[in-house]
Structure 1
Amino acid sequence: MTTLTRRFLIVLACAAAAVAAGFSIEALLSHRSGWPFGHTRAGHVAGWAGFALTLSVFGYSVKKRSGSRTAWPKGWFLVHQAMGIAGPSLILIHSGSHLHALVPLLALLAMAVTVVSGVVGVVVHRKALSLMKSRRAEFLGQGLSPDEVEDRLYDLAAAEKAFRTWRIIHVPMSVIFLVLTILHIVGALYFGGW
């Protein structure tokens, strides 16, 4: 088993454990209150907190597009990954297994696809970094300046087929998830009387 496969399986096991924990926590909290947890004040707080953490994920995209061409915002990428797990975990605790309305169900499914594609993206990203590291050494060995090396690596990364294919899934699903979540919030506020 390769290191990449082992890491992927570990991440997959952690994701499955997070889903099981989310459902278990929600079930325990629902049982204690006698009411679906997502409909309680604490459940609403968990949902809002999950939504806020999930919104922070977009900081990476903004920073990546607004920064310099060669500087990669690694810190924001780590925030993107951490909040991409923490936010959906809180949202899962908020929703639990109470899947009685279409829009929240679709939002939850879009969130699941987004999170899974994000995990796949980490694997694709690590593979691309490994390739970039070897290509950087190759370019430097050819006597290119550091700026020329960075430009070539940037162009190489942009042309990477696996990464482009992954983005075709991850980016639109993220937007669909965001739109469905906003629709859910608007509907919940409207019908809930807030």
Structure 2
Amino acid sequence: MKNGIILKDVIPFILWFSTMIFSAIILDFVLHYFNIVFIGRHLGYLGTFTILISFLYSLKKRKLIRSGTPKGLLDFHEYLALSGSIMILVHAGIHIHSILPWMAVLVLIINVASGLVGKYILQQSNRTMKNKKAKLRESGLSDEEISKKIFWDEVAIDNMKKWRKIHLPITYFLGLFSLIHIISILLFN
């Protein structure tokens, strides 16, 4: 169990996600305790800007920018998206009085969860496949025999890599709800 999936992948996922929610609650509590709740409004702007900067990774993947390494920008994306999400959750607080912000917050939480699930599922899949190939090589199988034995595993991993087909539409919905929220605030405040 020392190297099990639960220890390596499920617990880190739960810790990251719980840290995000817990940090938002604590920060919101501190703002209320010191009667500086107005800062929450500004965290919405800062959180949105932080999340937008995190999309440098997407620009690199689509070869629209040249600087940075994919791994470095992925780490940058993950941390900025998580910290921006915390700021936006604090911005939302518990004072949401209309359906649109609630929907945006719900989509934000789902989006972060889907990103973390994708991260940890892909990590585990790649690690498992690497270990399986190494064990098959050690047992003396040829590359062709290994390919036959792991064919269905590779098919499964290829399908798991398509988690982005779920993550990206959720991200687009988040962007749409955020844009509608921002426009409605500008029009009606």
Asked if TM exceeds 0.5, the reply is yes
Q: Distance in 2 between matches of 1:53 and 1:132?
A: 35
Query: Amino acid of the residue matched to residue 160 of structure 1?
Result: D
* Matched-pair identity in %: 26
SS at match of 2:24: helix
Distance 2:19 2:133 in 1: 38
Verify: 1:50 aligned to 2:52, yes or no: no
Structure 2 residue runs without a partner (length 5+): 144-153
Q: Residues 21-170 of structure 1 correspond to what in structure 2 (within 5 A)? A: 21-33=23-35, 37=37, 40=38, 42-66=39-63, 73-130=70-127, 133=130, 160-164=158-162, 166-170=163-167
Q: Tell me what 1:152 maps to.
A: none
CA RMSD of aligned residues (A): 2.8
- With the length of structure 1 as denominator, give the TM-score of the two structures: 0.74
Q: Is the 8 A contact 1:46 1:94 kept in 2?
A: yes
Which AA in structure 2 matches 1:90?
M
CA separation in 2, counterparts of 1:77 and 1:14?
16
Offset, 1:128: 4.0
Structure 2 SS opposite 1:97:
coil
Describe the SS at the equivalent of 2:62.
Answer: helix
- Total equivalences in the alignment: 168
Return the TM-score normalized by structure 2. Answer: 0.76
Residue 20 of structure 2 corresponds to: 18
Q: Relative to structure 1, is the Cα distance of residues 130 and 67 closer, same or farther in structure 2, using a 3 angstrom cutoff?
A: farther
Structure 1 segments unaligned to the other structure (5+ residues): 143-155
Answer yes or no: is the 8 Å Cα contact 1:57–1:83 preserved in 2. yes
Aligned counterpart, 2:147: none
